[in-house]
Structure 1
Amino acid sequence: MKTSDLSKLQYYIDSLPSKLNAFTEEEFAHKTAPDKWSKKELVGHLIDSATNNHHRFVRGQFEANPVISYAQNEWVLATSYQQMSQELVIDTWKMYNTFLLNLICTISPEILDKHMANGHTLSFLFADYVSHLEHHLEQIFEDFDFKA
C-alpha cells in the first residue's frame, strides 16, 4: 500500500472537519436542484462509502470475493442526512474515517497485497476509497486544493 494514501486520509481527517464546519448550516444543507445532493448529503454519502468499505476491508481479509454493493441514492435518502445536524454528519464522517485508517494500518502487508477473486487487492481498494473521497471533495469545495 502506498504510504501517501494513508497520509492523505490522515490529512483529511485532521483538516476537513474545520473546513466543513466553516459552512453555515444553510450552505451545508443547500440543494442546487431537487435531485442533487447537498454538501451535507455528499458527506453522508461518504459515510455510507466508509460503511461499505469497512466491510470490504474486513471481509477481504478472509473471503476470496466479498460482494458488497449498495444503492447510493437510496442509502442517502433512507439515512436522512439532510435532516441531521451538520455537527453529527461531520463528526460521524471523522470518526468512521479514523476507524478505517486504524483498521487498514493493522492489516499485514501480505494480506493487503493478496489478490481476491475479483483481481483487486485490499491496497487497491483502499487507494480507490481515498480517490473516491477526493472526487466528492472536489464537488463540496469549489476551490479544492488541499490535497495532502
Structure 2
Amino acid sequence: MKFEKLLDEIPKLINGIDDNEFITKVSSNKWSKQEILGHLCDSAVNNHSRFVRIILTEEPISIDGYKQDEWVRIHDYQNNYSKSDLLTLWIQLNKQILNVIRNASELDFNKQCILSDKSRVTLCWLFDDYLSHMLHHIKQIKS
C-alpha cells in the first residue's frame, strides 16, 4: 500500500534534514518545513475525523474546510515543538488513519460525502486526495 510506504519513507526524509534548515523561514509569510509538517498533522486530525464519520454514517455527511493558516498559528509549531516530537505526532496520527483505512470495507470506500462546494465524492476519492495533499507538501519539505 502506497500509504504504508510513505509512513516508512517520510520519517527518514525528515530525520535527514538539518535542524536549522528545518526551522528556517524563508519569509515571514511562508511556512518553515517544521510548520509544513505541523500543517500535515492538522490535516491528519481533520481527515481522520472525516474518514471515521463517513464510515460510521449511512447518509452522506457534509465536510467543511478548516482555516489551515490559523491552525498552524494557534499550535505555534515553529516554537512549541521539536522536530522529533512533531515527527512522532505525525507518525502516530497517520498510523491511526492507516488503521481506519485498513478496517474500511469496499462498501465504506464507496460511501459519499458532500464537500463545501456541494459536490459529492467518495471516501476512496477523499483518501486519495489526502495522499496527494501530503505528497504536495512533502515536495515542499524536500526542496
Q: TM-score, normalised by structure 2?
A: 0.90
Separation in 2 of the partners of 1:100 and 1:15? 17
**Count of residue pairs brought into register by the alignment:** 136
Separation in 1 of the partners of 2:112 and 2:34? 35
- Greater CA drift, 76-85 or 61-70: 61-70
Aligned match of 2:9: 15
Aligned match of 2:68: 72
- Greater CA drift, 92-101 or 55-64: 55-64
The 8 Å contact of residues 113 and 120 in structure 2, kept in 1 or not, is answered as: yes
Aligned match of 1:131: 132
Separation in 2 of the partners of 1:19 and 1:53? 23
1:50 aligns with 2:51: no
The 8 Å contact of residues 36 and 141 in structure 2, kept in 1 or not, is answered as: yes
The 8 Å contact of residues 34 and 83 in structure 2, kept in 1 or not, is answered as: yes
Q: How far 1:69 moved relative to its partner?
A: 2.0
The 8 Å contact of residues 41 and 90 in structure 2, kept in 1 or not, is answered as: yes
Separation in 1 of the partners of 2:135 and 2:42? 15
**Cα RMSD (Å):** 1.2
Q: How far 1:19 moved relative to its partner?
A: 1.4
Q: Secondary structure at the match of 1:116?
A: strand
1:1-148 equivalences in 2 (<5 Å): 7-61=1-55, 62=57, 63-83=59-79, 84-117=81-114, 118-142=119-143
Q: Report the CA distance shift for 1:122/1:112 in structure 2 as closer, same or farther (over 3 A).
A: same
The 8 Å contact of residues 63 and 113 in structure 2, kept in 1 or not, is answered as: no
Q: How far 1:22 moved relative to its partner?
A: 1.3
Q: TM-score, normalised by structure 1?
A: 0.87
Q: Secondary structure at the match of 1:120?
A: strand
Q: How far 1:114 moved relative to its partner?
A: 2.0
Separation in 2 of the partners of 1:116 and 1:87? 35
